[in-house]
Amino acid sequence: MKPTRRTFLSSSLATLGATTTAAAFATAAEDAPATGSGALDYGRSFITNSAPFNAVRFWVESRTTIIDEKSGKSQTYYQCGSCKSENTFAETDLFAADNYDFLPILGDSEWLIFRRPCRISEGYRRVSKTEAVWGEPIFKLRKLKGEKILADFETIRDTTAAAVPIVAQTELHNAETGLRAVIEYPVKTMNISLEHQLYQVDTGPVAYPDLTQRFERPIEALSLAFVAFNAPDFADFVIEQPIKISEEAADDCRTYHYTKPFSMPAQNRLIAPAGMGD
């Protein structure tokens, strides 16, 4: 193992569909975003690491908190910004020749790492303990300094036009499993129809949680997705998954793509830093 190259030691995928034990959830009340409050300042929130070979810093791009209503416990997962596969600290050829997109999600002392090449790969998603990758993570999370809820079109329009950062929270619930989740993310694209007085959020990737079942390893519930909404009571998602490159293509001629959009009941909130743009 070369210490001058980024090393990814990962475990195999856990079996899906088993019942989650209460011990699988760490009590994380201080991390769980409260209703309409506690939003992160995504321009200034990072996760640093402690491995001597690479104390890498990741930008936090979104966070997803899964709440077990039966046990009352919750776990927060931090989806970090993506990069490309590297020959880290090499003298030349800093990008790997057979390149892939790289995106990590951290939660419950585990990393879920996505590696997306142009072709289907068994290594697309892997879960590893933090100590097997970059050592103990160090959370550098900063919350918004004061908050203003954007509750009507006029406020959303004016905040958007003033170039003020906006954070969204999308809350999902599954009554059958007793699981609830809050996806929080900075709004990167905001559409505004001045003519019809409508807005529409379009942002991603985020860590979308599958709440339809209880996973033995809860981090396995997460997939990469984009989210859109233009009302407070529903959200549409499109998840990255394998898909044939064309209808005529052979079954084995596939790649990864955000596809098969679907809609879900949701509670959406838009939040801006208080005092900015006023």
Q: Read off the pLDDT of residues 44-91 as tens digits, 9 standing for 90 and up.
A: 999 999 999 999 999 999 999 999 999 999 999 999 999 999 999 999
Residue 108 has pLDDT above 80, yes or no: yes
Domain limits, the chain? 22-140, 147-273
What is the predicted pLDDT for the residue at 278?
Answer: 60
Q: Report the 10 Å Cβ neighbour count for 245.
A: 11
Categorize the per-residue pLDDT at 29 as very low, low, confident or very high, splitting at 50, 70 and 90: very low
Q: What is the pLDDT of residues 204-260, one digit of tens each?
A: 999 999 999 999 999 999 999 999 999 999 999 999 988 877 777 667 788 888 899
Of the candidates 47, 263, 223, the one whose C-alpha atom is nearest the C-alpha of residue 134 is 47
Of the candidates 126, 121, 124, the one whose C-alpha atom is nearest the C-alpha of residue 252 is 121
Q: What is the pLDDT of residues 123-152, one digit of tens each?
A: 999 999 999 999 999 999 999 989 999 999
SS3 of the chain: the string is CCCCCCCCCCECCCCCCCCCCHHHCCCCCCCCCCCCCCCECCCCCEEECCCCCCCCEEEEEEEEEEEECCCCEEEEEEEECCEECECCCCCCCCECCCCCEEEEEEECCEEEEEEECCCCCCCCEEEEEHHHCCCCCEEECCECCCEEECCCHHHHHHHHHCCCCCEEEEEEEECCCCEEEEEEEECCEEEEECCCCEEEEEEEEEEEECCCCCCCCHHHHEEEEEEEECCCCEEEEEEEEEEECCCCCCCCCEEEEEEEEEEEECEEEEEEECCCCC
pTM for the predicted model, two decimal places:
0.85
